[in-house]
Chain A
Amino acid sequence: GAGVSQSPSNKVTEKGKDVELRCDPISGHTALYWYRQRLGQGLEFLIYFQGNSAPDKSGLPSDRFSAERTGESVSTLTIQRTQQEDSAVYLCASSSRLADLTDTQYFGPGTRLTVL
């Protein structure tokens, strides 16, 4: 079946502009995650949605970052007033806690964000 998809695949923006990144999880997956991978660094957790529970926002680096998810479908990650340090690959993952007790996360291809 279809995997996790993300759009756009690449985004170049100017410092100070807002950007929106989109993630389409695997159908039926109740959990959705956003991670960030900056050049030369590991993956960094940003935010996590699980069903109707309040999202875990503990990884968001500043209040310029926010994310929404409608039900168990699409999620958007918004970065306001982008800064050069926001340049990174933003990865989305989804998992089905109901079907897979080990909670394997399936990753999308990522969005490469470049802030000039």
Chain B
Amino acid sequence: AQRVTQPEKLLSVFKGAPVELKCNYSYSGSPELFWYVQYSRQRLQLLLRHISRESIKGFTADLNKGETSFHLKKPFAQEEDSAMYYCALLVGKLIFGQGTTLQVKP
């Protein structure tokens, strides 16, 4: 079955600390994976996609097929990174994880 798992509901860190939001997927084919972010009172928006191998707002995510993971990382968290983060797998439609709330404390 196709599934995306984000094990942490809430991740709380201090400003300047490293951040890693975990995402694991279950899919038999070649996965196409995304991270979406929803800031307070804003609409859900794309943060990054694995196929682009890009860094957005200091965030990166590497696809690890052996571990079936696509963890989102940032070396130094900022207060403005506080938001809800969703990992998603594209199989025609998007299959989302449950989301992780990132709280960056001053």
Expressed in whole angstroms, the Cα–Cα distance for A2 and B98 within the complex equals 29
Q: How many residues of B contact A (CB 8 A)?
A: 21
Q: How far is the CA of A108 from the CA of B45 in the complex (A)?
A: 9
Given contacts A45-B94, A110-B43, 16 further A-B contacts (CB under 8 A): A3-B43, A41-B98, A42-B6, A42-B86, A43-B44, A44-B96, A45-B93, A45-B96, A56-B93, A102-B51, A103-B90, A104-B46, A106-B45, A107-B43, A107-B44, A109-B43
For A, the interface residue count at a CB cutoff of 8 angstroms equals 23
Best-surrounded residue of B45, B86, B92, B99 (most CB of chain A within 10 A): B92
Which of chain A's residues have a CB closer than 8 A to the CB of B90?
103
From 86 to 104 in chain A, residues with beta carbon under 8 angstroms from any chain B beta carbon are: 91, 93, 102-104
Residues of B whose CB lies within 8 Å of any CB of A are: 6, 32, 34, 36, 43-46, 49, 51-52, 86, 90, 92-99
Question: Are B99 and A102 in contact, with the CB atoms below 8 A?
Answer: no
Q: Does A33 contact B (CB under 8 A)?
A: yes
Q: Mark A105-116, 1 if CB is under 8 A from B, else 0.
A: 111111000000
